[in-house]
Structure 1
Amino acid sequence: MSSGGKPEKVSVEEAMDRRGKGEFVRSATAFHDDITANGSGGFKAEANRYHLYVSLACPWAHRTLIVRKLKGLEDAISTTVVDWYMAQQGWNFTDQKPKCTKDPVYDAKYLSEIYFNVVPDYGGRYTVPVLFDKKTKVIVNNESSEIIRMLNTEFNEFCKTEDQKKLNLYPEHLKSKIDEVNDWVYPYINNGVYRCGFATTQEAYNAAVKPLFEHLDKAEDILSKTRYLTGNQLTEADIRLFTTLVRFDTVYVGHFKCNKKRIMDYQNIWGFVRDIYQTDGIAETCDQEHIQKHYQQSHLSVNPSGIVAIGPDIDFNAPHDRDKFSK
């Protein structure tokens, strides 16, 4: 059965062993409840009931912002954007930086307080995105791959337009193909860049960087034949790849040592990135200031000086010819 491209579940012993070898091992998310249109999942889809805590720097949170935007759910689901700088205590709230906002629920200083208000003895990581129920004061879900599927189908009543209501990013006839793509994009590309950047031995880095570029080559080949990863229809698979690619040349190439090739060196992937970026509403969810300052100021084990690089200059609005596949 497909994993849906979620973080792998490994035992504590295995994780410790792999980390001891210099590997980056991502922890699994902890909250996995469902919101459904009829409430059968335990939580009923309602306007102004749910709140998203996000970071504009984080590719996982970015997925949820894109789907929320494409489905026209901005008025139905509120958001709080955390500070781009992540201190030792984790994500924090501020209204002193562009697009950042204070916590409207608890007036918390740190995101960790949201977790502890829900589970006082919580022992996991304080990650974004967080889908929070303001009515019952609980965290519904903090797994982005599950959140985007809820936003895709369960809030259709609250979409602004009929086209947004009809938009389905995980259609029945493409589910198996989408799952298949997610199952290699997640470990080798989405998480692959982190496995490169946070590797602490040459062996761990080598083991991550080779399959990263092998699978970028695979994506390049697919996108030389079709507009999107599963054909000529935009799906969640494209969004999940895009949020890594839009960060690749600005932070992953230099900061995470993923410099074998830039995304701009891939003719079809680079066209694909511009195509997705220029899709109505998506550019509004992208913020390179948050992205570059978060990675380069927060990851002091990778960039001890915390100096933010000046470039590169990238024109995501440059013309592309991806629509040729739809003719």
Structure 2
Amino acid sequence: MPESTAQSTQTTSPSSSGTAQFRRETSAKGEFVRQANRFTERITADGSSGRKVEPGRYRLIWSRACPWAHRAAIVRRLLGLEDVISLGTVDPIRDERGWRFSLDPDGRDPVLGVEFLSESYLATDPGYEGRVTVPSLVDERSGLVVTNDYPRITLDLSTEWKAFHKPGAPDLYPEDLRAEIDEVADLIFHDVNNGVYKCGFATTQDAYESAYDALFARLDWLEDRLRGQRYLLGDRLTEADVRLFTTLVRFDAVYHGHFKCNRNKITEMPVLWAYARDLFQTPGIGETVDFDQIKRHYYGTHHMINPTGVVPKGPDTSGWTTPHGRG
């Protein structure tokens, strides 16, 4: 999918911490530019990539707060790969060294033995100076990062790890729909998934308003598309739905206010709100959502946007479990 390659190397705007962990790249026009994925090895069923699918060999590092990592955790659970690929969870609050394992006993990942994900990054590339990101798949034996290529990770879980899917697991990337899934997911990436960040991290009014207009035009398009069908590709849950969900579930809690995406809330868009609740209530999805960690991460680490670090008490999230009427 093209989202992993649409990058830039233009100017950098550091936050108050002044470290690589918190830098945000922007263009000369003040537009947010997402950092390129540094580690892009693949783990394949036949091992032709140099790394072969092997149960118990790899560890998925994620944050409950991060939408890009959240995708991988959802797909892992939907496919029943919990006993095949282990899961390590970082704290939603990063310090100057980035994602940390302070939720674990003694502040170390119990499998990798590291305090910070950056240790694995630097063991893999001692000269690495970019931001450390999740999700990351790490080789448990060597402690080295295999990939942080978030769009490819979930596709490979669906296609290369099929031999280990649970009985009845959904086919999230079926061959007959791949071209359409790629097309829809690419539109969603640019305007919605990354669009909220382009609003939140814009450093000029024009860049912000351009991203804002594209975001809500796409949300209106999605509202219309989903009016007559249950999922983005009809009656089948696919990778595209997972990718959209992780932005929708964060929208009212953080993007609406924190990132200034405030034309309206998702709860004020009847079709998208029902669709989001439908996905939330799907076994394997809603239980991966942690609104507390989501809010603490965004409001507590983006010091350039929220210098006080105060985390809002709202919104009320009880509506996520109300009937959605889309079955």
Same fold judged by TM-score > 0.5? yes
The answer for unaligned runs of 5 or more in structure 1 is none
Q: Does the aligned pair in 1 maintain the 2:7–2:33 contact within 8 Å?
A: no
Amino acid at match of 1:145: P
Alignment counterpart, residue 86 of structure 1, candidates 86, 89, 94: 94
Residue 113 of structure 1: CA displacement?
1.0
| Residue number in structure 2 paired with 1:112 | 118
Q: Does the aligned pair in 2 maintain the 1:115–1:122 contact within 8 Å?
A: yes
Aligned mate of 1:162, from 159, 167, 179: 167
State yes or no: 1:9 paired with 2:26: no
**Cα pair 2:139 2:146 within 8 Å, conserved:** yes
1:274: how far off?
0.5
Kindly state the Cα deviation for residue 136 of structure 1 after the two structures are TM-superposed.
3.9
Which of 234, 255, 258 is the equivalent residue of 2:258?
Answer: 255
Give 1:61 shift: 0.1
**Equivalent AA in structure 2 for residue 43 of structure 1:** R
The number of residue pairs the alignment matches comes to 315
Q: TM-score, normalised by structure 2?
A: 0.91
Higher mean alpha-carbon deviation, 119-128 vs 173-182, is at: 119-128
Indicate conservation of the 8 Å contact 2:99/2:118, yes or no: yes
Q: Separation in 1 of the partners of 2:28 and 2:90?
A: 31
Q: Where in structure 2 are the equivalents of 1:215-226 lying within 5 Å?
A: 215-226=218-229
Pairing 1:21–2:43 present: no
For 1:300-321, what per-residue CA distance to the aligned partner results, in whole angstroms no more than 9, with x for missing partners?
A: 1111110110101022111011
Aligned counterparts of 2:76 and 2:107: Cα–Cα separation in 1? 18
Matched, 1:58 2:62: no
**Deviation string, structure 1 residues 160-198 (Cα, Å, up to 9, x no partner):** x3112xx21111111111011011100110000011111
Q: 2: distance between equivalents of 1:13 and 1:162?
A: 47
Question: More displaced, 241-250 or 109-118?
Answer: 109-118
Percent identity, please: 47
1:200-255 alpha-carbon deviations (Å, 9 max, x no partner)? 22111111101000000011010001111111100000000000000000000011
Counterpart residue number, 1:141: 147
Alignment TM-score, normalising by the size of structure 1: 0.91
Instruction: Please tell me the residue identity of whatever aligns with 2:120.
Output: I
Distance 1:276 1:180 in 2: 21
Q: Shift of residue 14 of structure 1?
A: 7.7
- CA displacement, residues 16-75 of structure 1 (integer Å, 9 cap, x when unaligned): 995343221111101111111221221111111000111100000000000000001111
User: Which is worse superposed, 102-111 or 189-198?
Assistant: 102-111
2:41 is equivalent to residue 41 of structure 1 = no
